[in-house]
Amino acid sequence: MPAAERSYCNSQISSVYSQIPGKQDGPIEAAFNKKQRTGNTLCEEATLSEDALESMTNEDLIKTIKVLQIALQASHKQSQVLAETTANSSKPNPAAAAWTPEKINERALKVRELVGKEVKKQMKWQPSCKRGSTKWSYKGMVPNVDVFNKVFEIESGSKAFKLKKVPMREFTKLFGYIYASCRYNDLTITGEHVNLKWDAEESTFQLSGTYGI
């Protein structure tokens, strides 16, 4: 009998056996005491031969039957628990299985597309556009870190960060050339880099930078 099942069975038998009134020196008591010394279950120790059964009083027989019934019930219950535990541990994680590389890539492309659209909406003419210093920012959310890493082409297992400067060349490669038309010229993202903030606990990120002519 497996150790986990033996331990559970013994605890159940001990609890019930201690509540059964009567003599404490019969065959079932001897088996119970031996069980405590060896660590086996009462079912394993109580090998009751035909002669032993015939020599027992009615009181001892009733007591034996009660304890053995509990032992069998406990063993059956523990077997069910172990079977359920094994079955549950072998089930795949639906959440993990759902995010295949293809789905991660698909979501990352959608996030990039959304970033481009939302940043472009903010690019309106202002006097500061002449200096290329008009500010923009975008805050977004991703379902998990795998999608975030794919959006920004961060290798899995890379050092964690909260703030990072994304070079403009790399940003343009990821999100494309973002611009908005104005009356006399196009407004484009300016500067040497774009700021990237990442909140791993909330799965949110924030991009910020400047734009102008």
Sequence ranges of the domains in the chain: 3-90, 101-212
The pLDDT of residue 66 is: 77
83's tokens? 């079977």
The pLDDT of residue 182 is: 85
45's tokens? 């120790």
pLDDT of 29 strictly over 60: no
Within 10 A of 44 (CB to CB), how many other CB atoms are there?
16
146: CB partners within 8 A, 6+ apart:
99, 104, 156
The pLDDT of residue 93 is: 52
Q: What percent of the chain has pLDDT over 70?
A: 67
Contact 79, 5 (CB under 8 A): yes
Inter-CA distances, 165 with 91, 112, 193, Å: 41, 17, 6
Q: What is the pTM of this model?
A: 0.53
Task: Express each pLDDT in 79-136 by its tens digit.
Answer: 776 677 666 655 555 555 688 999 999 999 999 999 999 999 999 999 999 999 999 9
Strand positions, DSSP E, the chain:
134-141, 163-167, 179-181, 186-199, 204-212
201's tokens? 């606990």
- The model's confidence at residue 198, banded by pLDDT at 50, 70 and 90, is very high
